[in-house]
């Protein structure tokens, strides 16, 4: 019964989404307040029904209802309970349901926190989001019903993909989807503004906190995904330029550009057309990512089940949503007036340059991701594009963005003086370059990549500090600085921190692959590793060969690591579970390869010493905190209070 | 005109995606399909004097299975090959690839050998000639010594039935 209930409420949700997507838009066009007033209740109702459907699916997983095909394919009676909850989104159907649930959540959030916005704006924003919901709910119901029955029921499930049975995966997809889907809000605001023709500073101000929050979630989701890959895939890498990863990284780059461009549009009224285009682009890339991952046009190590009928549906949906919004943009673009003038050396110019660089980076990732598909479609052969391309193209493109990150926040709006700026920053520049040149010499000798990375990290750190000092001269106390400012500085510091970590781990990591018998020693980076053999143990839904590796330094035993090799019962899939001893300065990472003899006394063992790798994720975490802090700035809340004043006050620009 | 650029770029992309939906990115064509199987002469595992060369198989449709004792998925595939060796639709030659620890002979003695011959490619050179990317890989070679098909990854009963059987039938094995 429960799965049928889930199916039924999903249909109800689709009907509500139709109401939400059509009537308020008509109402806004005709000035009909009754129709516009439908937006909020329809959106909230839709969310409630999707949530019920989601709960039904989770219930089917929790109770091991193997008469539901989705459960039979993606769960297993011995699967631990927490993974049965997460298995709900481990499949194609379930992850789309999560997508729709998130979209409902964001729409409901908009419906609650939009009291200060004009009614027609709210009706249009919620209406556009409703249309997106319609597309996804129809996609679910037509091609990917998560509640399809399997009759007769399977005796047991085929188990969740063992790769996903990791606690990093418990929160990674929801966070990532919060980010992906969150850009729908900025998208809907942009569409609403294009329809109404009112593209003003107020529009940018309303979009800003939503965009920043979505960006923060996306940052967190990507960082978690990278951390998961590092721990779970057993190769010790943290970013593979895999199509699935690129699919989340491209919206991030466009979203980052959007955040900066929105700042200019809000403060100075400039770049309006550009900002709108970025808002459309960020969400379009989220949709494109869904298409690339779900349709199977690109092969990926993440390999979800793929199906051309589904691909065709998403592609048609993509064509309608993105094609439609870009047509609307082209039609309305001439109406957009440019804002205040600025000189080539001003904060506007810096932010524009930042945007160009970020989009160039995004374009290079897009090209690399799609290149195999383009060549194949043109009949020019099958090729694959790997990390060497991305590293060679991406790093040089991003370097100027990191340099600008130091100058931009210090430059004045409208125009600044270059000699002035040089005077303000000459010491910072000298110290950064010196750090970049000298630090590698103390480590392992000169290395241009290390120099570039260290120089840029030091540069950002120093310019952030200069920014704080200059601000303090005016406002006196750190506590007086607005949260928007704090958020920006923290996010920039997080970037510096992450870049430092990446530079260190990429240039100074050490690894060995060794064959170890019980009692064998090997050493790496000053540590001595002693292999004490493996023991066979049963796990909840797998058997495991658990290795014991004692790690000592200068004769003193420091800690013991237990890397595992698991064989999952249902799928027979072997999994490498690395064991990592982390601290602030380095990770010691041990993974078991294959047993090299019959009685599993000799193993291939892979050992990594990863200096400062955790800085990368700590930096990302700081960026996330910065994002949330900036979104909670008082300015946005003051706008709420103003709404009690006569209408129109909220539309006042900054 | 400028304002239409994003739409035009997107339209071109959609065209490619639509085409891409009908392509299979996982299917990597081997440049050896339709060409003569590279010649080699290698000693045979378990015998000091005997050698094996593809020329020995002239006039027969046969299967070249590249495997190694250190390869885990080859062990997965082993029982399937054993089953085939019993029903004998076609001779299977097992190229023992880069067996640095010299374990093949003992392993086959213990687990049973599905192979008609086991040429010993210690240096891995023959594997390179055949474009082996990893073990196991399996080639179907026809009566004239032409490579007709290549399969990457372990063979399971479904793969055999859907991919190999039709091909072997076509070649008159």
Within an 8 Å CB–CB cutoff, is residue B7 touching chain A? yes
| B6 part of a folded domain | no
What is the predicted pLDDT for the residue at A653?
Answer: 35
- For an interface test with A, the pick among B25, B101, B135 (most A C-beta atoms closer than 10 Å) comes out as B25
Q: How far is CA B106 from CA A15, A528, B95, in A?
A: 67, 34, 16
List all residues of chain B from 78 to 107 with a beta carbon under 8 Å from chain A: 101
Chain B: give the shortest CA distance to residue A299, in Å: 6
Give me the residue from B11, B16, B72 closest to A594, CB to CB: B72
Question: Binning pLDDT at 50, 70 and 90, where does residue A558 land?
Answer: very high
State the helix-helix crossing angle for A418-443 and A483-508, rounded to 10 degrees.
Answer: 30
Query: Mind listing the pLDDT tens digit for each residue in A184-204?
Result: 999 999 999 999 888 888 888
| A121 part of a folded domain | yes
A473 and A359 in one domain?
no
Q: How far is CA A263 from CA A283, A458, A484, A497, in A?
A: 18, 25, 11, 24
In angstroms, the CA A471 to CA A9 distance is 54
| pLDDT at A625 > cutoff 90 | yes
A421 and A327 in one domain?
no
A602 touches A616 (CB < 8 A): no
Query: Mind listing the pLDDT tens digit for each residue in A57-100?
Result: 999 999 998 888 888 888 888 888 888 888 888 888 888 999 99
**A420-424, A584-588, A650-654, B43-47: which has the minimum mean pLDDT?**
A650-654
- Mean residue pLDDT across chain A: 87
Q: Are strands A586-595 and A579-582 parallel, antiparallel or unpaired?
A: antiparallel
**What average pLDDT does this structure show over B22-39?**
71
Structural domain tally of chain A?
4
pTM to 2 decimal places:
0.82
A144 and A49 in one domain?
yes
Q: Which two tokens stand for residue B33?
A: 């399909």
For residue B140, the enclosing domain spans 33-171
**What average pLDDT does this structure show over A110-124?**
90
What distance lies between CA A496 and its chain's CA centroid? 19
Query: Mind listing the pLDDT tens digit for each residue in A10-31?
Result: 999 999 999 999 999 999 999 8
Where a domain ends, among A368, A389, A410?
A389
A454 and A524 in one domain?
no
Q: Which two tokens stand for residue A634?
A: 């008082």
Determine phi and psi for A526, rounding to 5 degrees: 85, -5
- Tell me the CB-side half-sphere exposure of residue A281, using CA atoms within 13 A: 27
> Radius of gyration (Cα) for chain A, nearest Å?
26
In angstroms, the CA A390 to CA A341 distance is 37
Where a domain ends, among A323, A357, A389?
A389
What is the predicted pLDDT for the residue at A150?
Answer: 83
For residue A436, the enclosing domain spans 398-508+615-621
* Percentages (nearest 5) of helix, strand, coil residues in chain B: 40, 20, 40
In angstroms, the CA A510 to CA A177 distance is 35
| A633 part of a folded domain | no
What is the predicted pLDDT for the residue at B152?
Answer: 81
| B65 part of a folded domain | yes
A462 touches A440 (CB < 8 A): no
| A366 part of a folded domain | yes
A252 touches A219 (CB < 8 A): yes
Going by C-alpha positions, the residue among A542, A529, A533, A609 that lies closest to residue A577 is A542
Q: Would you call A370 and B16 a contact, using CB atoms and an 8 Å cutoff? A: yes
Which CATH number is B57's domain given? Answer: 3.40.30.10
| A353 part of a folded domain | yes
What is the predicted pLDDT for the residue at A568?
Answer: 85
**What average pLDDT does this structure show over B140-157?**
86
Helix or strand holding residue A448 (H, E): helix A448-475
> Radius of gyration (Cα) for chain B, nearest Å?
20
Query: Mind listing the pLDDT tens digit for each residue in A314-336?
Result: 888 989 999 999 999 998 887 77
| A628 part of a folded domain | no
Q: Compute the Cα dihedral for A549, A553, A555, A558 and give only its sign.
A: negative
Question: Binning pLDDT at 50, 70 and 90, where does residue A503 land?
Answer: very high
| B111 part of a folded domain | yes
Structural domain tally of chain B?
1
In angstroms, the CA A126 to CA A109 distance is 10
| B8 part of a folded domain | no
What is the predicted pLDDT for the residue at A59?
Answer: 94
A175 and A104 in one domain?
no
Cα nearest neighbour of B101 on chain A: A596
**Does B159 or A464 have the greater pLDDT score?**
A464
| B18 part of a folded domain | no
Largest separation between any pair of C-alpha atoms in chain A: 82
| pLDDT at A295 > cutoff 70 | no
**A201-215, A217-231, B134-148: which has the minimum mean pLDDT?**
B134-148
CB contacts < 8 A (A, B): 73
What is the predicted pLDDT for the residue at A451?
Answer: 93
Q: How far is CA A350 from CA A262, A344, A412, A623, B29, in A?
A: 14, 8, 10, 20, 48
B129 touches B41 (CB < 8 A): no
| A608 part of a folded domain | yes
Please list every residue in chain B whose beta carbon sits closer than 8 Å to the beta carbon of residue A319: 14
Question: Binning pLDDT at 50, 70 and 90, where does residue A630 land?
Answer: very high
**What average pLDDT does this structure show over B54-60?**
87
Within an 8 Å CB–CB cutoff, is residue B4 touching chain A? yes
In angstroms, the CA B89 to CA A328 distance is 63
A460 and A410 in one domain?
yes
Cα nearest neighbour of B4 on chain A: A330
Question: Binning pLDDT at 50, 70 and 90, where does residue A300 land?
Answer: very low
| B20 part of a folded domain | no
What is the predicted pLDDT for the residue at A48?
Answer: 97
Going by C-alpha positions, the residue among A493, A490, A351 that lies closest to residue A411 is A351
| B13 part of a folded domain | no
A167 and A243 in one domain?
yes
Q: How many CB atoms lie within 10 A of CB B148?
A: 18
A172 and A102 in one domain?
no
| pLDDT at A235 > cutoff 70 | yes
A604 and A522 in one domain?
yes
A257 and A310 in one domain?
yes
Q: Would you call B13 and A370 a contact, using CB atoms and an 8 Å cutoff? A: yes
| pLDDT at A352 > cutoff 80 | yes
A363 and A250 in one domain?
yes
Q: Would you call A373 and B70 a contact, using CB atoms and an 8 Å cutoff? A: no
**A292-306, A450-464, B88-102: which has the minimum mean pLDDT?**
A292-306
| B143 part of a folded domain | yes
In angstroms, the CA B124 to CA B98 distance is 5
Give me the residue from B10, B11, B20 closest to A297, CB to CB: B20
A146 and A4 in one domain?
yes
| A276 part of a folded domain | yes
Where a domain ends, among A357, A389, A421?
A389
**What average pLDDT does this structure show over A333-355?**
82
| A644 part of a folded domain | no
Determine phi and psi for A385, rounding to 5 degrees: -110, 125
Within an 8 Å CB–CB cutoff, is residue B31 touching chain A? no
- For an interface test with B, the pick among A278, A292, A296, A593 (most B C-beta atoms closer than 10 Å) comes out as A296
């Amino acid at each position: 019964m429960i799965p049928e209930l889930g199916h039924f409420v999903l249909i109800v949700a689709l009907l509500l989404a139709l109401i939400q997507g059509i009537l308020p838009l008509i109402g806004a066009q005709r000035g009909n307040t009754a129709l516009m007033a439908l937006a909020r209740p329809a959106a909230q109702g839709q969310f409630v029904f999707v949530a019920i459907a989601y709960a039904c699916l989770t219930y089917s997983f929790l109770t091991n209802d193997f008469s539901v095909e989705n459960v039979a394919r993606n769960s297993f009676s011995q699967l631990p309970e927490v993974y049965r909850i997460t298995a709900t989104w481990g499949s194609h159907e379930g992850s789309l349901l999560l997508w729709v649930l998130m979209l409902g959540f964001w729409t409901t959030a908009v419906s609650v926190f939009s009291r200060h916005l004009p009614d027609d704006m709210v009706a249009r924003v919620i209406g556009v989001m409703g249309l997106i919901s319609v597309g996804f709910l129809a996609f679910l119901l037509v091609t990917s019903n998560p509640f399809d029955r399997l009759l007769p029921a399977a005796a047991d499930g085929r188990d969740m993909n063992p790769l996903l049975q990791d606690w990093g995966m418990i929160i990674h997809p929801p966070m990532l989807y919060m980010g992906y889907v969150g850009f729908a809000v900025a998208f809907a605001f942009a569409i609403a503004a294009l329809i109404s023709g009112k593209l003003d500073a107020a529009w940018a101000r309303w979009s800003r906190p939503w965009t920043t929050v979505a960006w923060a979630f996306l940052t967190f989701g990507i960082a978690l995904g990278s951390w998961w890959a590092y721990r779970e895939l057993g190769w010790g890498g943290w970013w593979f330029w895999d199509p699935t990863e690129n699919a989340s990284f491209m919206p991030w780059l466009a979203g980052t550009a959007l955040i900066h461009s929105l700042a200019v549009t809000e403060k100075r009224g400039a770049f309006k057309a550009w900002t709108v285009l970025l808002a459309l682009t960020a969400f379009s890339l989220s949709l494109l990512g869904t298409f690339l991952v779900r349709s199977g046009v690109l092969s990926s190590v993440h390999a979800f089940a793929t199906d051309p009928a589904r691909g065709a549906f998403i592609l048609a949906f993509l064509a309608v949503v993105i094609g439609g919004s870009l047509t609307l943009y082209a039609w309305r673009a001439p109406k957009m007036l440019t804002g205040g003038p600025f000189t080539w050396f001003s904060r506007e110019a810096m932010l524009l340059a930042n945007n160009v660089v970020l989009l160039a980076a995004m374009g290079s990732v897009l090209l690399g991701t799609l290149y195999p598909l383009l060549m194949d479609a043109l009949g020019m052969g099958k090729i694959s594009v790997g990390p060497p391309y991305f590293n060679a193209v991406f790093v040089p493109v991003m370097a100027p963005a990191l340099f600008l990150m130091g100058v931009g926040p210090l430059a004045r709006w409208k125009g600044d003086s270059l000699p002035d700026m040089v005077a303000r920053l000459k010491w910072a520049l000298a110290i950064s370059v010196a750090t970049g040149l000298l630090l590698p010499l103390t480590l392992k000798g000169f290395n241009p990549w290390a120099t570039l990375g260290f120089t840029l990290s030091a540069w950002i750190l120093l310019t952030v500090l200069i920014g704080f000092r200059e601000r303090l001269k005016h406002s006196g106390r750190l506590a007086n600085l607005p949260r928007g400012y704090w958020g920006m500085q923290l996010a920039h510091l997080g970037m510096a921190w992450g870049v430092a970590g990446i530079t260190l781990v990429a240039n100074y990591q050490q690894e060995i692959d060794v064959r170890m018998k019980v009692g064998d020693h090997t050493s790496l980076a000053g540590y001595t590793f002693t292999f004490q053999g493996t023991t066979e143990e049963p796990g909840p839904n797998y058997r495991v060969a658990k290795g014991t590796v004692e790690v000592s330094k200068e004769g003193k035993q420091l800690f013991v690591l237990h890397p595992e090799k698991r064989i999952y019962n249902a799928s027979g899939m072997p999994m490498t579970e690395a064991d990592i001893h982390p601290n602030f300065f380095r990770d010691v990472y041990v993974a078991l390869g294959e047993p090299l003899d019959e009685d599993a006394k000799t193993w291939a063992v892979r050992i990594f010493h990863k200096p400062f790798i955790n800085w990368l994720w700590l930096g990302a975490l700081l960026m996330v905190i910065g994002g949330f802090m900036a979104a909670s700035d008082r300015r946005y809340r003051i706008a709420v209070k103003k709404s009690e004043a006569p209408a129109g006050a909220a539309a006042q620009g900054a | 005109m400028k304002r239409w650029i994003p739409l035009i770029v997107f339209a071109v992309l959609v065209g490619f995606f639509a085409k891409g939906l009908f392509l299979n990115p996982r299917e990597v064509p081997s440049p050896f399909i339709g060409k003569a199987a590279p010649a080699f002469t290698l000693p045979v595992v378990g015998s000091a004097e005997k050698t094996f060369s593809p020329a020995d198989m002239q006039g027969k449709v046969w299967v070249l299975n590249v495997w190694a004792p250190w390869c885990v998925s080859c062990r997965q595939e082993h029982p399937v090959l054993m089953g085939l060796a019993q029903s004998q639709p076609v001779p299977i030659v097992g190229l023992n690839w880069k067996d640095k620890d010299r374990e093949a002979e003992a392993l086959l003695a213990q687990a049973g050998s599905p192979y008609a011959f086991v040429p010993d490619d210690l240096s891995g050179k023959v594997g390179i000639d055949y474009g082996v990317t990893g073990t196991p890989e399996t080639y179907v070679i026809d009566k004239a010594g032409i490579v007709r098909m290549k399969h990457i990854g372990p063979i399971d009963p479904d793969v055999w039935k859907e991919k190999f059987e039709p091909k072997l039938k076509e070649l008159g094995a």
